Amino acid sequence: MGFIEDFVASLESLPAMLERNYKLMRDLDKSLHYVQEENEHRCGQELEEFKLGVESGRIPITSDPSKIKFSEEALEEQSHCVRIADEKVALATQAYDMVDAHIQQLDQYMRRLEEIRQEKELATSAAAAAASPSIGTGPSTSNINVVQRSGRSGERGRGGRKKSRLTAEPVVPPIDLELPVDPNEPTYCLCNQVSYGEMVACDNANCKIEWFHFGCVGLKEQPKGKWYCNDCATLLKRKKGSSK
């Protein structure tokens, strides 16, 4: 089952990519904590200075609250905190999308495995039905005579052991792991999945697929020089052969 090996290969780069995202998020957390502490300290000092200025009469009391503002440095620190938080959200979303893409791919493979299991089950049932004289288009004359002579005991024998053997294996219900898929998100590669992990582009400008996941084409690192997918490489060989 080559698709299982393909899925396992596509998982090889996922832990490292998730670890990278989580490390960046931890680093951003540290930076955010530091900037927040600095901003709280700065704003506290400015509020204290404003209070002393009002009490001493150095700063006039105004009825318009919009004119009371923190310094540009304090406002810039607050904006910086928002930018750091946005970067954390983007990294978290990217990590979620990578895992979600693999879950959707796994769901497709599990449905394929279920189809294979059902095909094997039907083939086994058909083979057993062909081998059993009690399951067919109709009994022969000798079989009818045997049933007539044996009476009820013959009916029990015909519907007993062989029938129980055919129905002994329980039918496992299909596994349904339907996951929400964004219909507007573009798909790539031979697996027709969304973009995730490391990908390589086919150097044929007319390639129908263009982008491929490393695991789906058996790559572990970015190829050096030009790279063509199997279809485009075969097409180029045919063109070279015909031009000679």
Q: Which residues are annotated as a binding site for Zn(2+)?
A: 189, 191, 202, 207, 213, 216, 229, 232
| Residues of the binding site | 189, 191, 202, 207, 213, 216, 229, 232
- Those residues whose C-beta lies under 8 Å from the C-beta of residue 4, and which sit 6 or more positions away, are 109
Q: For residue 168, what are its two tokens?
A: 């002994």
**Other C-beta atoms lying within 10 Å of the C-beta of residue 39:** 19
